[in-house]
Structures are given as structure tokens and as C-alpha cells.
Amino acid sequence: MSDSTAAASDYTDPTSGLLYCGLCHTPKECRIHVFGRERTICCSCACELERWNAEETERQQCERLARIQRLKATALQNKALWAYTFDRDNGSNPAMVYAHNYAKRWSTMREKGAGLLLWGGVGSGKTFAAACIAHAVTEQGYPVLMTNFGKVLNSLSDMFSEDKNRYLASLNEFDLLIIDDLGVERNSEYALEQVYNVVDSRYLSRLPFIITTNLSLDELKQPKDLAHARIYDRVLERCTPICFSSRNYRKDNAAMNKSETAKYLID
């Protein structure tokens, strides 16, 4: 860290006999005792330490930015989602305030295992909101995965039981799991069982997850059969519902206002 070469402005202090920096007037030499003998060695003056600290801070920042880019590449494998960030939110959708607050209070959400259920019609901004949250959480240094049940089911379809278990466990390596478009997957007995396994694994992990769906809150609360009920009950228990639609947001989000998570989502 220390530069042993004396600059032209450096000088020797007449009292201590040590070399001093001509810029910051702090020692560039110090004395130590080794095996009973005093030795003079080089050390860093204040301005050298300041320069080294600045370089180290810049290096750490570059490493952090590189790590965030790697996290985003994993989190948002669909490159179209890379443009979905909070700075592109034009404020036209009132429900976005909950997405902003969720990301802003992410450490609390993570600690509580609190998730979100973003529901509403096609094109209402659910995927945009979820991707914005994914960006914000990765920028805080946390691993995120945003996927959909179609991709998950395709991955699981070619696996044996042991591989499936490993795959499900791998989803819980992410601090936040975002699954887009619940309800558009195949309604076969096999598909519903795999969807339940994914949701149940995340539920048992106590880690937060975010689900987006075109289904209405009534459809989620009153499922048509037991297979769907097993999935939706898990989601509703762990995910606070947020309505994305052109209807009355205040009325539609009334259920959200009753949840414990609501106090962190509402300013």
C-alpha cells in the first residue's frame, strides 16, 4: 500500500527523524521493535491511504455492479423484461404504489416471507410490476428468478423423481421467486400436481414469492375443484392480493387492506 519512493516535497522531520509527506504532512515512515531491535519501515501517509481507499471503493462498486448484472441475467431470462423498471412507471396505474413499497421494504418482506398476488385482466400491468420488483430486488444484491409455470412444467416433464426434487429445491435458492400467469397452464392432473408441488415447496420454505394471474379474486377464492383449491389456498395464505384493473382500485384492494403485510405496502 505504501510507496517507498520519496516525492520531491517530502521531508524528514527533525524531531523524529522520520520521513513525512510533503502534501498531507503525515509520516511515511514508522518505527517498530522486532526481537528487541528498533527498525524503521515504510508506512502509508494519510493521502496515500485516502487514495487506496478510493480505489478499493471503486473496485468493490465495479464488482457489485457486475454481480447485479449476473443476478439480472438469471432473474430476467426473457430479455424483453429488462426494460421493465420503476423509472419507467408513468404513475397512471394506482396499484403500482404497492409494487414500489414492496421493493422499498424488501428486507422486511423477505424476513416475513411476505409475497404478493398480482391479479387482473390481460394488459393491466401485472407483469410490468413484477419485473420492476425483480429489478429492484436484484439491485439490492438478492438472487431472484422470474419465470412462468409453462417453463417450469416443460423442465419437469423430462425429469425423474429425484431430479424433480432437486429442481424444486433449486427454486428455493432464490430469495424471491416470481411466477407469471398462474392459470394459463394445462389443466391436466399431472400439470396441476406439479404446479402444486412448486407452490407448496415455496410455501414450506417460508421464502416470499410473487404470483401474477388473469384469474379474478373470486375465482381464486372459489376454485372449481380440489386440485385448484390446494394451489390457490397456499397462494392466498402467503400472498397479499393486489388488483390490477380498470375498475375501482380502492374497492378491489379492500381484501389487501386487511392483511398484515398491508401496513408495509401502504404509505
- Residue 57 banded pLDDT, cuts 50, 70, 90: confident
Q: By the 8 A CB rule, do 137 and 106 touch?
A: yes
Mean residue pLDDT across the chain: 85
| Stretch 193-222: mean pLDDT | 93
- 64-74 pLDDT, tens digit each: 666 667 666 66
Kindly list the strands in the beta sheet with 239-244, ordered across the sheet, starting from the edge strand earlier in the chain: 144-148, 176-182, 209-213, 115-120, 239-244
pLDDT tens figures, 149-183: 888 888 888 778 788 888 888 888 889 999 998 98
How far is Cα 244 from Cα 181, in angstroms, rounded to an integer?
A: 13
Alpha-carbon distances, residue 223 vs 56, 151, 214, 216 (angstroms) = 56, 23, 14, 11
Sorted by where each starts, the structural domains of the chain and their CATH numbers stand as: 1-72 (no CATH), 76-265 (3.40.50.300)
How far apart (Å, rounded) are the C-alpha atoms in residues 228 and 177? Answer: 20
| pLDDT recorded at residue 136 | 94
Q: Is the pLDDT of residue 256 over 90?
A: no
- Cell 424476513, residue? 111
Q: Is the pTM of this model over 0.75?
A: no
Q: CA 209, CA 212: separation in Å to the nearest integer?
A: 10
Angle at 19 between CA 13 and CA 24, to 5 degrees: 85
